[in-house]
Amino acid sequence: MLSESSRQIIEETLPDMQERIRRITPAFYDEMLTEREDLLDGMFSRVDQVVGTQPQALAGSITFFASYVLNHPGSSPDEILTRVAHKHASLGVPAEEYVTVYQFLFKAIEKEFGEEYTPEFRDAWTEIYWMMADALIRIERSLYDSQANDQVNAPFTLVKKEQKADKIFDLVFEPADDTPLSDIKAGQYLSVIVKTKDGLRQPRQYVALPCGLNQRRIAVELDRTGEISPILTGLQVGDTVEISNPYGDLTLEKTVTDGFSPLYVFTQGIGIAPALAFAHQLALEHAARDIIFVHADESLRTWAYREELEEATGKLPRGKLISFLQASGEGDFTGSINMKKLEITPRSFAYVCGPVDFKQTVRSGLIANGVPGKNIQFETFGSDPYMHTATRRTMHRRY
Ligand SMILES: Cc1cc2nc3c(=O)[nH]c(=O)nc-3n(C[C@H](O)[C@H](O)[C@H](O)COP(=O)(O)OP(=O)(O)OC[C@H]3O[C@@H](n4cnc5c(N)ncnc54)[C@H](O)[C@@H]3O)c2cc1C
Ligand code: HEM
């Protein structure tokens, strides 16, 4: 719990911090990653630093946390902390590096605030930092402990590669050593690390697709302007990458909320990946759950994994698949998602995975039909800027 003296200072300085933290975090990352270049090796994405998504996420999360603690004394924003902890764990963030981040962050804060950086100011914000850091360290420790091995990443060999649509490739890997594999919950992701042309190991996250017991399978959409997806989609059978244990808290289990049904899974493009994982899992469990997959795409040609999702949905006694395709006459409906064509009720639960405009359209359509905001979950395929509320997850990166 935040001490009374710190509370007053945080209350007074939060608006200023909110305004200035956007300048502080890029400066802090610049200095930290210059002095600690090793952190770029397999942990931080160098592209995220240039584009600014990661500095913005950290900045947003700290001021969000501070304002949450002020408004909800004695509790903490678990949803954000858990999400960040899963991301950290997938990248193998070690507890001891929280001191490193603290030192570089507070050096940058001191530089920005100048004379206003008094000992009282420093102590109050230090208290906020360590409340957050301690919570993250605790969750990350339990996530590491829950795995079948104590490795951050293990080597895997590509055993199968299949093009599923214009720019979407299905990659299947098998272990290249004897590291035991952890079980995957439907909806979780893996961090995959490859070596770039200049030899730097760089990670990206990919939803874990259903696969054989001793395998890992992912769907990668090629972004020609990106750094890692061109390398991954250019891999050949026999090539080796590193893959983390599975992480991610937005799993099928999390979509079970007493009394709320059916579960709508809205996806667009490569956002279909978690839908596949959900459908296979429910089929495996012979679940009699009401579930409606709603997929949006350009055409049958761009729609990856259509047959696989149709087949898995076909095994669900109360499962349905509805498509909205732009190409005339190719889907169940032509054009973009239209809520009027679906029977949305206020008791529906929704999981949404797709680009930002898709997410916004689906969200406002659901809200207009009376679905409570807390019943709408979003999977983001990028860092969340955390500038909004705890339940609002923003996909801001094109994918
Ligand atoms: C939880 C999670 C799950 C995911 N699951 C999947 C999945 O199942 N399948 C999938 O395909 N993807 C998934 N992603 C996205 C994936 O992790 C990668 O972000 C994606 O493959 C793009 O990576 P990249 O290295 O090719 O692009 P990056 O190199 O990361 O670049 C991202 C974008 O930044 C732009 N950019 C690069 N450099 C600059 C610069 N200097 N200035 C301005 N802009 C720049 C690029 O144009 C590009 O569009 C997931 C992400 C998350 C967080
Ligand atoms: C209290 C301290 C910290 C806070 C508040 C924090 C916050 C965040 C947030 C909000 C994200 C984005 C998560 C998302 O994708 O949605 C993130 C990602 C990340 N964090 Fe932290 N973090 C902290 C400490 C650390 C430490 C100690 C390290 C390791 C040195 C670290 C390494 C990373 C990395 C590598 C990413 C992913 C970045 C990327 O994709 O480029 N963080 N962190």
Q: Does the Cβ of 189 fall within 6 Å of ligand 2? A: no
Pocket test for ligand 1, best of 45, 195, 224, 228 (most atoms within 8 A of CB): 228
Q: Does the Cβ of 161 fall within 6 Å of ligand 2? A: no
The residue type of 119 is P
Domain boundary among 197, 217, 244: 244
CATH at 229: 2.40.30.10
Whole-number Å distance between alpha carbons of 80 and 65: 9
Report pLDDT for 396.
29
What range does the domain containing 203 cover? 153-244
Model pLDDT for residues 144-201, shown as the tens digit of each residue: 999 999 999 999 999 999 999 999 999 999 999 999 999 999 999 999 999 999 999 9
Together in a domain, 14 and 137: yes
Alpha-carbon dihedral sign for residues 43, 48, 49, 50: positive
Ligand 1 neighbours, Cβ below 6 Å, are: 45, 47, 50-51, 189, 204-207, 219-221, 223, 225-229, 270, 273, 381-382, 398-399
Tell me, in angstroms, the distance from the centre of ligand 2 to residue 84's CA.
7
Together in a domain, 257 and 198: no
Q: Which ligand is the nearest neighbour of the Cα of 192?
A: 1
Q: Which ligand is the nearest neighbour of the Cα of 46?
A: 2
Domain boundary among 244, 274, 307: 244
End-to-end CA distance of the chain, in Å?
A: 39
Tell me, in angstroms, the distance from the centre of ligand 2 to residue 162's CA.
33
Together in a domain, 256 and 359: yes
Q: What ligand 1 atom has the least distance to the C-alpha of 229?
A: 26
Together in a domain, 263 and 331: yes
Please calculate the CA angle 9-82-141 and round it to the nearest 5 degrees: 100
Residue 210 lies in a domain: yes
Cis peptide before 317 (omega within 30 of 0): no
Q: What ligand 2 atom has the least distance to the C-alpha of 101?
A: 27
Q: What ligand 1 atom has the least distance to the C-alpha of 223?
A: 26
Q: Which residue, by CA, sits nearest to atom 44 of ligand 1? A: 51
Confidence band, pLDDT 50/70/90 cuts, at residue 390: very low
Together in a domain, 164 and 212: yes
Model pLDDT for residues 201-241, shown as the tens digit of each residue: 999 999 999 999 999 999 999 999 999 999 999 999 999 99
Report pLDDT for 385.
63
Report pLDDT for 394.
33
Q: Which residues neighbour 281 within 8 Å (Cβ) at sequence distance 6 or greater?
A: 186, 210, 252
Together in a domain, 14 and 140: yes
Residue 398 lies in a domain: no
Residue 367 lies in a domain: yes
The total number of structural domains in the chain stands at 3
> Is the pLDDT at 388 greater than 60, yes or no?
no
Q: What ligand 2 atom has the least distance to the C-alpha of 105?
A: 2
Q: Which ligand is the nearest neighbour of the Cα of 384?
A: 2
Instruction: Give bridge partners of residue 194 from the DSSP assignment.
Output: 202
Tell me, in angstroms, the distance from the centre of ligand 2 to residue 217's CA.
25
Tell me, in angstroms, the distance from the centre of ligand 2 to residue 98's CA.
10
Whole-number Å distance between alpha carbons of 185 and 204: 19
Residue 385 lies in a domain: no
Pick from 359, 355, 363, 353: nearest CA to 187: 353
Q: Which residue, by CA, sits nearest to atom 9 of ligand 1? A: 220
Report pLDDT for 289.
87
Render the burial of 103-135: b for 16+ CB within 10 Å, e for the rest: ebbbebbeebbeeeeeeebeebbebbbebbeeb
* Cβ pair 85, 137 in contact under 8 A: no
CATH at 123: 1.10.490.10
Report pLDDT for 251.
93
Q: Which ligand is the nearest neighbour of the Cα of 104?
A: 2
Domain boundary among 244, 276, 300: 244
Together in a domain, 272 and 170: no
Q: Does the Cβ of 205 fall within 6 Å of ligand 2? A: no
Tell me, in angstroms, the distance from the centre of ligand 2 to residue 286's CA.
38
Tell me, in angstroms, the distance from the centre of ligand 1 to residue 199's CA.
19
Q: Which residues neighbour 297 within 8 Å (Cβ) at sequence distance 6 or greater?
A: 268, 269, 303, 323, 324, 325, 326, 331
CATH at 346: 3.40.50.80
Together in a domain, 284 and 356: yes
Q: Which ligand is the nearest neighbour of the Cα of 54?
A: 2
Residue with tokens 């409906």: 333
Residue 293 lies in a domain: yes
Report pLDDT for 392.
34
Task: Name the burial class of residue 186, with classes exposed (0-12), middle (13-18) and buried (19+) by CB atoms within 10 angstroms of its CB.
Answer: buried
The residue type of 98 is Y
Q: Which residue, by CA, sits nearest to atom 24 of ligand 1? A: 226
Together in a domain, 267 and 357: yes
Residue 388 lies in a domain: no
> Is the pLDDT at 398 greater than 60, yes or no?
no
Model pLDDT for residues 302-355, shown as the tens digit of each residue: 999 999 999 999 999 999 999 999 999 999 999 999 999 998 999 999 999 988
